[in-house]
Each structure stands twice: as C-alpha cells, then as structure tokens.
Amino acid sequence: MSGKPRILIISPVTPYPVFHGAGSAIFGYLRALRQDFNILFAGFCPEKLLAEANEGLRVLCEDVVVMAPPELRYVDAFDSTPFYFSNLKDERFRQAVRDMHQKYQPEVVQVEYLNMAEYAAGLSGVRLLRAHVQDWWHFYLGWKQCLSRRERVTKLLGAFDTVIHNRKMIRQFDRILVTHDEERIHCLEICPGATVETLPFLLMDMEQFTPWPHIPTDPVLTFVGFLPHTPNEEGLRWFLENVYPLVKHAEPGARLTVVGAGASNGMKGLMYDHAVEYQGFVEDLRALYARTRAYIAPIMTGGGIRTKIIEAMAAGMPVVSSTFAPLGIGTTPGTNILAADDPQEYADAVVKLLHDDSLWWRLRKNARRFIEQNYSLQANGPQVARKYRQYLLERAA
C-alpha cells in the first residue's frame, strides 16, 4: 500500500451493500476519503450479506472486519450503557477492533454514531465521532408527542439516560462531527467545551440519482423504510390508518407502494386491507422513483437522520413528511419539502401534489438543488477530504 495515512472507521452498519440509510452516509465518506487515506473498516453486517460486504468493501478499503451483530441486547442493571445502546455490545467485535488497530496503528479513528463510541476506548490517534444526531433530543421530542403517561415516562427516562451516556462519550473524542448547526447547539448544551463541527454527514452521488425527465402521470405514492425499525412501522401504520383513507376519498385512483424488508405479519395484513403494493427489499429504487408522484415520510419518532428522504430528494421526488422526519437535514417546508402532522393536513398536501403539476415541478427543482448544494459527493467530497487532512496537521502541530 502507499504511504498515505490510515483511518479506521468503526460502524454499526456496513456501507456495502447499501441496505440501510446509515450505510449510504458512510459509503459516501469512503469514496471521498480514499484518495487521501488508506481506509480500515470494522462494522456489523447481516449474516446473509457478510460475504458480499467483505468482497465489496475490500475494493475501497485496505482491510475489513465485518461480523453479524449480537442476537440479544446486553442487559445489566449495574452497567453504565443505556439499554437503548446495548444492542451492539459484542466482545468479539471489540477485540477485532483492537487487533486491527494494533496491527495498523491508524493515524485517525472515526466512530459512526454514539452507540458505537465505546469501541474507541483506549485507541490512539486523532479521534473523531460522527454523532449524526444527539439521540437524547429525539427522546425528548418523542416525550412531548406521547399521549399515554407510560409512554411519556419511558421517553423522558430514555432522554435522561442518553444525556448521561452522550456526555460521557463526547468528552472522550478530539472532535465531534454533527449534521447540522442545530445539532451542534444541542451537543454543546449537554457537553460545553466540546470541539463540535458541522460537516455534511451524507455524500450523495448525484449522477446515480439523476431524476427522470418526465412527470409521472399515475397517482403513485411511495414509502421506503426498514420495517423492523419501530419508527418506520409506527409511521407507516399512522399513515395507513389516519391519512391514506382521506387521500383515497379525495383521489380514488391513488396507490401506495411500500418498499422495505421485514414487515411483520400484522403490518402485512394492514397493507393488504388497504390494497397496498408491498415489494419488500428493493436494491435499486431508481425505476420506482421514476413512476412516483409523491414520496411519503410520516415518521414521528426515533433517532438518526432519515437518509432515504435525502435520497428521494436527490432523485427529484417531492416529499411529504411529518415535521419530525426531516430534523437535522435542513429542509424548508413549503420550499423543498411539504410537512404536516395533522392527518387531514397531511392528506391535503399529498392530494395537492397528485394534482398540481406546477407545485410538483417546483418542489422537485428545489429539492434537487438543495441536495446538490448540501449533500453532493461531487460538490462536498473534496471539502470533507480537506477537513480530514487539516485534522491531521493540527494534531502534528
């Protein structure tokens, strides 16, 4: 290998094959950094994709460790790790990361997401944490939206627990990289004095998602999301039960297509009752985007960033979301996205998109331009690479 510095990236998901929004975000960074760094990658991957992930990642990386995630959460009343973060505790993985670090002595160690931060303990080098989002803030927002007392208590305790964990982890890194200025403010609220910087968290290949040149004529709606993820299932259920009947009443020809692996039997039954086309996992969504009139993202809870919204906007899809779903992305409701939380208002926004060609074209144009300016691999990749070179120079000074 060349004399380029090394960076070890520790991740909760594999960036290849891309089956998860977080994987898309990491994949863009691999492409942006590989010209300046030899990349080492360690992450979790579904067992059925391990061989494919190993083969594909070795094209981009100097060395790779991928393994199936633990089957059970780690539960210990005396452990400092919150239950929310315990699903990825694995001593085999921890040892593999240490072995890789000892073998290569990378100059930079980067951790993706706060729930993986503990794996950087004891590792030398410039230590970067791509926090993506402060999970405690999403628990807090969830607390404000819950109706039942039990749910409110659960969300509030979750927020308190994660504040303690987030603060402890943030203090152990040289630099915290967040997605948006609002996230930077929240990070400094819980950990004053931390070095926090805003960088594009997702570098989208705009050439891959070139929009279809014609407006779809059929009133097709699309939802994309990994359905075992509770916020995705809850959001889709809310839409089907509260919004979709209103849409169908106003536009009887409207049809909904749902893409995403792992739908439960109950969700499959609900989709069947509403005549929804369920496609399961789809590797390449471009053909579906070409015939989609409106992309829906009715997500009300959860952490992280909805990268599928960014992908849909890159592909020229007008998006109708909840006000919660695009948090951290930086969108402007009414300009490059439509947003509503009331069922009737949500349905009205969808129906307007189905009927109003001028609105459709305006949202498409603004959405695509917004992603090009803020999340494009072509526009922002060189900026990210320069920042990483700067981090090394600052450490050496």
CATH 3.30.1360.20 fits 220-374, yes or no: no
Helix (H, G, I), strand (E, B) or coil at 205: coil
Report the C-alpha gap between 376 and 137 in whole angstroms.
27
| Structure tokens that stand for 118 in this block | 């503990």
pLDDT at residue 120, as a whole number: 95
Q: At what angle do helices 357-375 and 377-396 cross, to 10 degrees?
A: 20
Q: What is the pTM of this model?
A: 0.78
* CATH superfamily of domain region 6-202+377-396: Glycogen Phosphorylase B; (3.40.50.2000)
Q: Token pair for residue 169?
A: 């982890």
**Residue pointed to by tokens 């993985």:** 93
Assess contact for 5 and 38: CB atoms under 8 A.
Answer: yes
Query: Are 336 and 367 within 8 A, CB to CB?
Result: yes
The CA radius of gyration of the chain, in Å to the nearest whole number, is 21
pLDDT tens digits for range 248-306: 999 999 999 999 888 999 999 999 999 999 999 887 888 999 999 999 999 987 766 78
Residue whose structure tokens are 């059925």:
48
Domain ranges for the chain, please list them: 6-202+377-396, 220-374
Burial class (CB in 10 A: 0-12, 13-18, 19+), 209: buried
Please tell me if the domain spanning 6-202+377-396 has the same topology as the one spanning 220-374. Answer: yes
- What is the model's pLDDT at position 79? 56
Name the nearest CA neighbour of 19 among 42, 41, 52, 63. 52
Which ranges of the chain have pLDDT less than 70? 1-2, 19-21, 72-87, 132-148, 151-161, 303-304, 397
| 204, 32 contact by CB (below 8 A) | no
Residue 12 main-chain phi, psi, to 5 deg: -80, -15
Cα separations in angstroms, 141 against 146, 192, 327: 9, 21, 11
Question: Which residues, at least 6 apart from 38, have a Cβ–Cβ distance to it below 8 Å?
Answer: 1, 2, 4, 5, 6, 7, 62
Residue 244 has what pLDDT? 98
